[in-house]
Structure 1
């Protein structure tokens, strides 16, 4: 056997650690970020992903408090889900139209542990401890609520028996926090969900009438949620940016739609010219801004969600006396080819011949988009745009050209790579060769999805127009900076995309929720796919996101909404251009493999020619 020649050049030193074994903090340190800044970024983004933490650091590079070590303020809430949550959301909206009152500062909740301080170094431990809570033998079947109405307060109070059990969970959590050096106190007062307080006397009658119409029975689930907030936001109002503003003077604050601004209450009341001073949630910068470009919103909208634990879902199942585990998104590395940590594929996908051919005439083919620029190149915008705003293609896998738009809008709505477009056209060619029939085509409003569908139709040699449906947007929980600014139909048409400008979306962009649980996202997707089926004829092609494959089909074929561990377990098994098909049969819809082979591709590291010199 020939012996291996000695390697003169090596990219791997004996002391190197494989990237997949590094913690997010270690990776940020390797990238050159100071430890205290990296730790702060991970805490501020809920340890949700490495990409979010690095983006936070870049956005806050000029934040004057970036190097301060003031701990964040945390709180443990119990929040309703299901039909009660939907009722409360409608109640909030209608009551806010009457007048803003104190209840509108937060989402509907029951406080289990009031605000407590946690250093950034212990942030992840505070969230992880939720997974270790154990249920008591007196675990209730449901949480019963009693309505209380008075001239200055309206709410729903938890009955004593269930309140005692909830307080024991809170005390257990507080005790485990103390074991790691975090001091907190459980709520010892009456547990309740506030509906209205600090309202005008004239609103008592209409508010009480609205409260009486609420029903606390039906499909009601409950989640433990651990939130934190920027210490600078204490005792300040939160305003959401509705319109952009470019500073004209050095003391003005740049406004970006989707950002939140912390504003002192007295500033709004005392302004004489409509300009107030505030702090940007997105950048941490302070400056003056036009108040009419923003809209007051709940303080909790600008909080960071660290963990969610489902404890009751209509009927408690305290199996093995362990509380169901929390939603813990896996760490996303820069080169991970996933949309979001909750992307999921069907774990029991049938093989060819395992499912009998359905007799129905309709088919739905759902695809994930192709390779995206930001996950391939990381922070690509400063690298590819000159000072004058001109785009420069610095790698052959970068787009040959990109549509004209505000450069900042690419941050949360990136294009495909050149290979991503090629991959999509290959899928279209395979569809044509397999005699797939498509009668209508839908895409998520994300640019990468529209580009993917455009290339699929090009390979398919089809002139179908693209119906851009905002309801196909992925789980909004992964967009901490607010929803992206998408291109309009007019902008897409000018950029050369064949979009259906007459299409009226089922879910308009401004109707998308700002916050939603995984269960709510699945419900949104299921309602959408049913509406698409009802309002179209023939076969349907949908291009959306990794999580869309399961969210749009699981309940359609009679399955149940998966638990959070199942959602996260299969996230990385949904590669770019993954496809699946559902077909209508005599007994409903069934899941089938697509009628063409999959497309497999590997990563290709950047070649450094200097190693040969």
Structure 2
């Protein structure tokens, strides 16, 4: 038998995808190293998809190639009943006036701000691992209220303060080992409740502080945050209404974005317009101030890691957020997490996990693009004085179902693109052999329209079960629930509605107010009843917050804090789809068997610029 001659130039070994880090994947996709590291740090090292999305959003950011490091800080934050009480205190005290305590979430500062190069961000987060072991955790942190005409707060008792200081110093030493210089906060550890407030509000604030029970049941956790160092002297405003630029120097506003405004800009504007910088894109421009409202600075920060430090036996129904995040490990059975539209040479875009008929699946989708978030105040623009509707943009609906015009104000329809998005998802489900047996929708018109288009794309005639319990977190409806279309009105408008369906949660049973724990509990109980009362695979179309609220406890997760819910919602695009499957050990998450849908914004064209 002939022997094989030795090869002098063997083919270089190709690195297996399962061993690639997110940075390596971004480099393979063609992103420069310094930009990839900046994106991973800015998104808390939560994966390639978020980092690539950040890079694409910041393509016009003038600071994209800046070497300015981010600023990091370490907090100890309460969850559970105390965390909820403090958040309520913040909400109520804001009604008097904005004071400096409102700039941050309830916290005890353990480390002062310290700077970290982007390439070291992951190491700094990982340094929290094994900082303390379970045996070191104490049951509670005792607090004592302090009230003065200039400052109100909750101070940590000496014994527990020393314990926290020891943890902070231990973390500082671990950082020093990797070349990061940080300084522990070891003086008068406390939670600030109010400071730099008007003297006229001293009495009502004091009364509120005296009603607090600072030693309520609570779990405590370390949270490592970072912020863009350029904006430490700015005020943060959240976008409440969309704005499409009409002039070259104007900034596009999208709900869910945050705007950095110079300190004092809100009080010095002459015409109601101010210049700000978008958190979402890093670009600057003028914007209408009344399309935003001031919010907590920490809303725009990046959460890198959390670590529980107490063990009070708080149940999962109390407010908590995820523990330290680990780098995702790509396996050969999952699709490579790449920016949408970029296909690798050896992995399909679709997930390769086979569907099985032996277990049930639940598909939960967010609705498609909505008219009000796209066009802002569209009703006066599109309705004549006689009530007739005029389509003033091709992305506006061709026609609208008949109803009271003002009811559209809080119950927006889909745009034309929103309907197309939904149809594409339905067609993708059909191509991926997704089987749907029962379909539910939130009573919001945009959700019913989305589900109707998805079912058309699937080629199914399943009637839609309208379930009021699927409405999003009621804290986002301070003026009360919208007026939804009745089943009869929807059927008259051409929707295939299940007229015999009896809602699990009636509209009149929805509370006027609810906190985030109550919202998640409502959603969890609803999902259990939907599962028990149906057979086969379930398709649900609801809201951005619904993807987590309907699945977190179902899959064994914990309820997040209100601030974390708000941040999470910002990361759920239109027609995002979540898949869960019933396994022997309970419901588990799986990648959807079809790719996501992504598109860029398209500014309104003014033909007069060519005259």
Q: In which range does the TM-score fall when normalised by the shorter chain?
A: 0.5 to 0.7
Aligned to 1:101: 99
1:543 equivalent to 2:552? Answer no
Aligned to 1:149: 147
Aligned to 1:485: none
Q: What is the CA distance between 1:418 and its match in structure 2?
A: 2.2
CA contact (8 A) 1:425 1:459 kept: no
CA contact (8 A) 2:423 2:454 kept: no
Aligned to 1:134: 132
1:39-73 superposed Cα distances (whole Å, 9 cap, x missing partner): 11111111112111111111111111111100001
1:286-320 superposed Cα distances (whole Å, 9 cap, x missing partner): 1111111100001111001111112224259xxxx
Partners of 1:65 and 1:247 in 2: CA distance:
22
CA contact (8 A) 1:372 1:416 kept: no
Q: What is the CA distance between 1:530 and its match in structure 2?
A: 3.4
Aligned to 2:86: 88
CA contact (8 A) 2:225 2:303 kept: yes
Partners of 1:326 and 1:366 in 2: CA distance:
29
CA contact (8 A) 1:74 1:117 kept: yes
Match of 1:270 among 264, 268, 271: 268
Aligned to 1:418: 427
Partners of 2:534 and 2:526 in 1: CA distance:
14
1:528 equivalent to 2:523? Answer yes
Aligned to 2:415: 405
CA contact (8 A) 1:444 1:470 kept: no
Aligned to 1:466: 466
Task: Give the match's secondary structure for 1:115.
Answer: strand
1:73-114 superposed Cα distances (whole Å, 9 cap, x missing partner): 110011110111111111111100111111100011110111
Structure 2 CA distance for partners of 1:101 and 1:500, relative to 1, 3 Å: farther
Q: What is the CA distance between 1:134 and its match in structure 2?
A: 2.5
Aligned to 1:46: 44
Task: Give the match's secondary structure for 1:68.
Answer: coil
Aligned to 1:215: 213
Aligned to 1:240: 238
Task: Give the match's secondary structure for 2:242.
Answer: coil
Match of 2:57 among 50, 56, 59: 59
What is the total number of aligned residue pairs between the two structures? 478
Partners of 1:329 and 1:452 in 2: CA distance:
38
Q: What is the CA distance between 1:455 and its match in structure 2?
A: 3.6
CA contact (8 A) 2:143 2:154 kept: yes
Aligned to 2:188: 190
Q: What is the CA distance between 1:246 and its match in structure 2?
A: 1.1
Task: Give the match's secondary structure for 2:276.
Answer: strand
Matches within 5 A, 1:194-593: 194-315=192-313, 326-328=324-326, 330=328, 335=336, 367-369=362-364, 405=415, 416=425, 418-421=427-430, 426-428=435-437, 451=451, 455=455, 462-467=462-467, 498=496, 504=507, 524-530=519-525, 543=540, 551-553=552-554, 561=558, 578-580=580-582
CA contact (8 A) 2:441 2:447 kept: no
Task: Give the match's secondary structure for 1:39.
Answer: helix
Structure 2 CA distance for partners of 1:249 and 1:459, relative to 1, 3 Å: closer
Q: What is the CA distance between 1:264 and its match in structure 2?
A: 0.9
Aligned to 1:572: none
> Structure 2: 5+ residue runs without aligned partners?
1-9, 315-321, 339-357, 369-392, 396-412, 477-483, 561-576, 596-611
Q: What is the CA distance between 1:140 and its match in structure 2?
A: 2.8
Partners of 1:23 and 1:452 in 2: CA distance:
40
Aligned to 1:36: 34
Partners of 2:163 and 2:77 in 1: CA distance:
16
Q: What is the CA distance between 1:505 and its match in structure 2?
A: 9.4
1:558-584 superposed Cα distances (whole Å, 9 cap, x missing partner): x89599xxxxxxxxxxx9754449xxx
Partners of 2:305 and 2:362 in 1: CA distance:
29
1:373-422 superposed Cα distances (whole Å, 9 cap, x missing partner): 9xxxxxxxxxxxxxx989xxxxxxxxxxxx962759999x9962623146
Aligned to 2:383: none
CA contact (8 A) 2:44 2:304 kept: yes
Partners of 2:57 and 2:259 in 1: CA distance:
15
Task: Give the match's secondary structure for 1:74.
Answer: strand
1:571-613 superposed Cα distances (whole Å, 9 cap, x missing partner): xxxx9754449xxxxxxxx99899xxx9999789xxxxxxxxx
Structure 2 CA distance for partners of 1:506 and 1:542, relative to 1, 3 Å: farther
Partners of 1:410 and 1:118 in 2: CA distance:
44
Aligned to 1:344: none
Partners of 2:221 and 2:113 in 1: CA distance:
18
Structure 2 CA distance for partners of 1:496 and 1:33, relative to 1, 3 Å: farther
Q: What is the CA distance between 1:266 and its match in structure 2?
A: 2.1
Structure 2 CA distance for partners of 1:327 and 1:526, relative to 1, 3 Å: farther
Q: What is the CA distance between 1:148 and its match in structure 2?
A: 0.9
Structure 2 CA distance for partners of 1:603 and 1:59, relative to 1, 3 Å: closer
1:482-511 superposed Cα distances (whole Å, 9 cap, x missing partner): xxxxxx989x99997657999749879998
1:10-48 superposed Cα distances (whole Å, 9 cap, x missing partner): xx9744322222111111111111111111111111111
Structure 2 CA distance for partners of 1:185 and 1:577, relative to 1, 3 Å: closer
CA contact (8 A) 1:174 1:186 kept: yes
Task: Give the match's secondary structure for 1:527.
Answer: helix
Q: What is the CA distance between 1:130 and its match in structure 2?
A: 0.6
1:502-543 superposed Cα distances (whole Å, 9 cap, x missing partner): 974987999886xxxxxx5xx643333336889999659673
